[in-house]
Structures are given as C-alpha cells and as structure tokens.
Amino acid sequence: MVIESEGADSPRSAVLAGLGSDDIEELMSVGREVSFAAHESIFEVGGRADAMYVVLDGEAQVDVGGRFHRLTRGAFFGEMGLLAPDRRMATVRAVEPVRALKISVGDFRSLVSDRPQIGLSIMRTLALRLREVEQRIDAWIAS
C-alpha cells in the first residue's frame, strides 16, 4: 500500500512529503496495521511512549492541553515520545474509524538509522510544528 500525504505544507499533515517510494515501502514493512473504532482512544496523556503511528485511513484528533488538532491520511503522531523518551503529552482519539500503521520504538530507531531521509522528513515536520506553536505564542503575547 502506498501512503500519500495531504496538504504537504501544513505542519499537521506534512508528514511523508518528499519521501521516495522505497522509503515508504520500508516504512510499511516495519510497521503493523492497527484499527480503531470511532471515539476509541489510540493513546492517552501519561501513557508509555512505545510506538508512533501513521494514519492510513480515517481521521483522529490530538488533544494537547485542550488544544485540538485533526490528523488525516498520511499524518503521523506519537514520534516525540520515541525521539525524547518520556510519557505521552497528548491524548489521541479516533474521530471516525481509523486504520493506522504502528511502528514500535525499536523498529523506528532502525528505520531512521537505515533510511535517513525518513528521519529528515520527521525533523522537518517537527520544525514546522514548532514554528506554528511559536507563532501562536507570539500572537497570544501581542494581544
């Protein structure tokens, strides 16, 4: 299966933009497919960060301290806990039935080591997310 990201310039969905088909095939081969019913929790704040996810179909919602973000096909989430191990800082729930690729921490580390382009794509997305947060903080302070 090929994963296509939507809205490659949006920090919420600019996940796998720029990856070649070989990288995407490798990503698919290390993950395992999981499904969640509408309104089902994918993970909760404070939970152990043991995997990241890529949305294959459906829509999920991230709740970070009362701020909500929608995740659609191609979006990834849960990677922060794998990069800087700690407890989950957000809750993610399926808004509608979600089919996702779950990538364990060990497979994630091997994948990024073997396929640096995937690591760079993740870092790019994290930088875009950080920029978005900084802009919101600046706007809040200015008001």
| Domain spans, the chain | 21-142
- Residues 122/16, Cβ–Cβ less than 8 Å: no
Dig out the tokens for 26 from the structure. Answer: 């490798």
- pLDDT score for 40: 98
- pLDDT score for 16: 65
- pLDDT score for 45: 94
pLDDT tens sequence across 5-53: 343 334 334 456 667 788 888 888 899 999 999 999 999 999 999 999 9
Alpha-carbon Rg for the chain, nearest whole angstrom, is 15
- pLDDT score for 10: 40
- pLDDT score for 85: 78
| Rounded Cα–Cα distance for residues 94 and 37 (Å) | 7
Dig out the tokens for 108 from the structure. Answer: 């994630």
In which band, very low, low, confident or very high, does the pLDDT at 100 lie, cut at 50, 70 and 90? very high
- pLDDT score for 65: 84
pTM: 0.81
From 36-40, 44-48, 61-65, 119-123, the region with the lowest mean pLDDT: 119-123
Residue 138 or residue 48, greater confidence = 48
Q: What is the CATH number of domain 21-142?
A: 2.60.120.10
- Residues 27/118, Cβ–Cβ less than 8 Å: yes
DSSP3 helix / strand / coil % (the chain, rounded to 5) = 35, 30, 35
